[in-house]
């Protein structure tokens, strides 16, 4: 839809410009009637097409900057609350349909992965930020409590893309570095409190992962913690 808002007006602008050039040709050949029609009508079409094209480009830009896509649903079930032990179920919502279970110990779960953001011009034509999930791990509210505690984590990375089996990693990195479309790569992580019965939704934005409560139990747990 965003592309239509940009390219349709620009096509009208091109047609208007063609009529404008034709009108100028009629004027040079002494045909003022046809010249005025071409210059006037073509000029109006060209200006209107450019104006609406700029508006469409602005709308598309806003759409891309606020773009969000579902990544996963995270469900929490208490196993041994006194020991802060929880069972976490991760259900992917990005088309892979994978479901994984993980046992974590701590105050919060944290989802992390690698993020790739493209150049603004590439984003404008529809190339959204991309990501790969990495780990689901534990987190304590205080560093003092976390020190000396075991790290509990699960590998949630999916299978490597087919291209990774066809080309060496060094070739892929070289190609990405010379395609001039990548803006930056970075690690992104987001965490939320663990509470029995809590359900959270993780979404991907242009700037990284974002988790939000998806039921009342998660809302209560999130509100109880002063971030």
* Residues 44-91: tens digit of each pLDDT: 877 877 776 666 655 555 555 567 889 999 999 999 999 999 999 999
Q: How far apart are CA 219 and CA 227, in angstroms?
A: 13
Domain boundary among 34, 49, 65: 65
Same domain for 181 and 82: yes
Query: 56-60, 101-105, 123-127: which has the minimum mean pLDDT?
Result: 56-60
Q: What is the average per-residue pLDDT within 116-127?
A: 69
Number of domain units in the chain = 2
> What tens digit of pLDDT does each residue of 8-49 get?
767 777 787 787 788 777 777 777 777 777 777 777 877 877
What pTM was computed for the model? 0.66
191 or 149, higher pLDDT: 191
Q: Tell me if 100 sits within 8 A of 156, measured CB to CB.
A: yes
Domain that holds residue 59: 2-65
108 or 206, higher pLDDT: 108
pLDDT at 195: 95
Same domain for 124 and 44: no
Domain boundary among 49, 65, 81: 65
Domain boundary among 41, 65, 89: 65
Structure tokens that stand for 199 in this block? 């359900």
Residues near 50 by beta carbon (within 8 Å), at least 6 away in sequence: 9, 10, 13
**Helix (H), strand (E) at residue 77:** strand 69-80
- The dihedral sign for the CA sequence 192, 66, 208, 172: positive
Same domain for 117 and 41: no
Q: How far apart are CA 206 and CA 110, in angstroms?
A: 19
pLDDT band at 209 (very low <50, low <70, confident <90, very high): very high
- Answer whether residue 138 shows pLDDT above 90: yes
Same domain for 110 and 204: yes
- Answer whether residue 100 shows pLDDT above 90: yes
pLDDT at 227: 53
Provide, for the chain, the percentages of residues in helix, strand and coil under a 3-state DSSP scheme, each rounded to the nearest 5.
Answer: 45, 35, 25
Label residue 174 left, alpha or beta by phi (over 0 means left) and psi (-120 to 50 means alpha). Answer: alpha
pLDDT at 17: 76
Same domain for 111 and 26: no
> What tens digit of pLDDT does each residue of 150-201 get?
889 999 986 655 545 555 666 556 655 655 556 677 899 999 999 999 999 9
SS3 for 73-140, per residue?
EEEEEEEEHHHCEEEEEEEECCCCCCEEEEEEECCEEEEEEEEEEECHHHHHCCCCCEEEEEEEEEEC
- CA-nearest of 171, 222, 192, 2 to 104 is 192
């Amino acid at each position: 839809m965003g592309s239509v808002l940009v390219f349709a007006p620009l096509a009208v602008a091109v047609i208007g410009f063609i009529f404008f050039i034709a009108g100028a040709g009629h004027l040079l050949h002494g045909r003022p009637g046809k010249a005025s029609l071409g210059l006037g009508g073509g000029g109006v079409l060209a200006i209107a097409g450019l104006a609406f094209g700029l508006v469409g480009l602005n709308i598309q830009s806003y759409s891309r900057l606020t773009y969000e896509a579902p990544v996963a649903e995270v469900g929490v079930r208490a196993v041994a609350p006194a020991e802060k032990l929880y069972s976490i179920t991760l259900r992917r919502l990005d088309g892979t349909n994978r479901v994984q279970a993980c046992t974590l110990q701590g105050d919060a779960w944290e989802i992390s992965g690698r993020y790739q953001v493209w150049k603004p011009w590439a984003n404008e034509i529809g190339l959204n930020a991309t990501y790969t999930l990495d780990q689901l791990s534990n987190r304590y509210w205080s560093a003092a409590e976390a020190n000396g505690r075991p790290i509990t984590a699960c590998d949630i990375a999916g299978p490597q893309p087919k291209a990774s089996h066809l080309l060496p990693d060094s070739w892929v990195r070289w190609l990405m570095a010379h395609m001039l479309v990548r803006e930056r790569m970075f690690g992104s992580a987001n965490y939320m409190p663990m509470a029995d019965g809590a359900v959270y939704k993780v979404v991907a934005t242009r700037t990284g992962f974002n988790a939000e409560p998806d039921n009342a139990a998660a809302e209560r747990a999130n509100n109880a913690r002063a971030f």
